[in-house]
Structures are given as structure tokens and as C-alpha cells.
Structure 1
Amino acid sequence: MNVLFICSRNQWRSPTAEQVFRRYPALSVRSAGTSRNARKRVSHDLLRWADVICVMEQKHKDRLMAEYPRLLENKPLHILDIPDDYRYMDPALVTQLEELVPEVLGIND
């Protein structure tokens, strides 16, 4: 399963999610950001690649839906509701991701 994690600047939350879920054999993971200043920006190619998209906040879903409505028509898109309160690989962020994402994706470790 190809999973794309998205936050604003692709600096802390989505790269952490990418790092954490790399160890899951059933997943291929990437991350991107919605902001013009993102380290890696969301693109048509990334969205086409993804089977499932996980965004950190509602505003990320809103931006994606505004910019790429046709690409997202039949793709599962999950809002994780993780605020921008964490640094890269923050243990509290890792714990939240490990609790939320497997359930959302329907996978087990």
C-alpha cells in the first residue's frame, strides 16, 4: 500500500510519519507539504502514486481538495488531527502516529 503523509511544510510531522512507517513491510511511504515553502511539495505525481493519503489537519485536506479535486475523487483521505506542536521524531508525536495510523489504514504491526 502506498501511503502519502502530508503536513504544511514537510518539516516535522509528515517526515516523522514517513520515518516511523518505513519499517512496516506492507507499506511504501512518502511525505510532502502543502505550503509553497515545503521541503517537498505535494505534486500530481505524488498524489497519483498514493493509494491512501493521511493529512495532519483539516486545513491540509481543504487545500488538497481545492487544488487537486479530480485526483482525490476516489482516494481515501484521512485527517489525523495532529496539531503542529511537535519537532521531528518527537516521542509524543511518534506515539500518536503509532496509535492512529495503523487503525486508519487497517494494518497491524
Structure 2
Amino acid sequence: MKNEGKREKNWKDLYTRSTKLARAKQLGIEYPRLFEAKLRQNSVSEADERINVLFVCSKNQWRSPTAETIWRSHPKLNVRSGGTSPNARHHVSENDIRWADVILVMEEKHRSRLKAEYTRVLDFKLIYVLDIPDEYKYMDAELIELLNQAVPAILMLE
């Protein structure tokens, strides 16, 4: 008789867990959630692992592709770029954000747009604003200089 009660309780636990898993999948979040320290440990657990860096600007035409081009060959980095505008060359996707360990945005408005569109996915992501205005063309010498000053300090590559 005691065993029947225990089996019933286990069934309820399983049912509750499967319901939570289904709801989490529907919302696009991971369940059970990991703590921030655990996420950081998983993302960069060893010194020789590469860091996934996502560069974001508005239209993914000049600033973020320049950053991607500059840092593409760095031995410690995997890089991608995207834009927040609906008509960007490559619109930032949920997969891009999940892939990234660190997100570097050109302006504060890009961080705001990402947070508005991908709130749940960004819960434990590191986002830094580079404060680089939209006044540079692709591979502009001044833009390259700004990126070479800002990025290594943020990613501790020096």
C-alpha cells in the first residue's frame, strides 16, 4: 500500500516536470535554468577555448562587418556580426544570441533593441556598448582604430 502512494507521487512529479519542460520550450527558454556562474563556466571553461563574440550595429553594413573582418583571424575569438534593423544584411537571430558568449553593440540603442526583442535569451549574456557612432564606412581607418582600442580591453586580449 505504501508503494502505491510513492508511485503516485513520482507520477505527479514527472507530470509537473514534463509540463514545465513543455512550457519552457514554448517560451523559448531553457529549463531548468542554470545559474550565471555556471553559464560563464560552461561558456569559457578553459583558457584555450575560443570566445564567441557577436558584433551588432543597425544595418550590418559598415561597423559590425568591419569589426567581424578585423577580429575574424584572432586565435582566441570566433566572431559574427548582425544588425538590429529589419532590413539589415543579416538580422540578429535568437541563434546568434544563444551562440555568443559576449555581445558588443555599437550604440546604446542596439542594446535596447536586443533587450526588447530577445529579453529571455539575453538573461545571462554579457553585453557591452562600444559607443561608436554611425559615421564610418566599411573598413574606415578611424573605425578600425576605435575597434582596436575598445575590443581588446573588453575581452581582456591584451
TM-score, normalization by structure 2: 0.68
Query: What is the match of residue 105 of structure 1?
Result: 155
* Post-superposition offset of 1:107: 1.1
Using CA pairs under 8 Å that are at least 6 residues apart, name the structure with larger relative contact order, 1 or 2: 1
Residue 5 of structure 2: aligned partner: none
* 1:15 aligns to 2:65 (yes or no): yes
Secondary structure class of the residue paired with 1:35: coil
Task: Give unmatched runs, 5+ long, in structure 1.
Answer: none
- Structure 2 unaligned regions, length at least 5: 1-50
How many positions carry a matched residue from both structures? 108
Instruction: Please list every run of at least 4 consecutive aligned residues from structure 1 whose deviation after the TM superposition is greater than 3 angstroms.
Output: none
Structure of higher CA gyration radius: 2
Question: Which position in structure 2 is the counterpart of 1:86?
Answer: 136
Letter of the 1:37 counterpart: N
Q: Alignment RMSD, CA only?
A: 0.5
In the alignment, is residue 41 of structure 1 matched against residue 98 of structure 2?
Answer: no
Partner letter of residue 23 of structure 1?
Answer: S
Is 1:57 equivalent to 2:107 in the alignment? yes
| TM-score normalised by length of structure 1 | 0.97
Aligned to 2:112, the other structure's residue is in SS state helix
How much does 1:23 deviate?
2.0
Instruction: For 2:155, give the aligned amino acid.
Output: L
AA aligned to 1:79 is V
Q: In the alignment, residue 60 of structure 1 is paired with which amino acid?
A: H
Supply the distance in 2 between the matched residues of 1:106 and 1:77 (Cα, whole angstroms): 15
Matched residues, percent identical?
A: 57
Tell me how far 1:92 sits from its aligned partner. Answer: 0.2
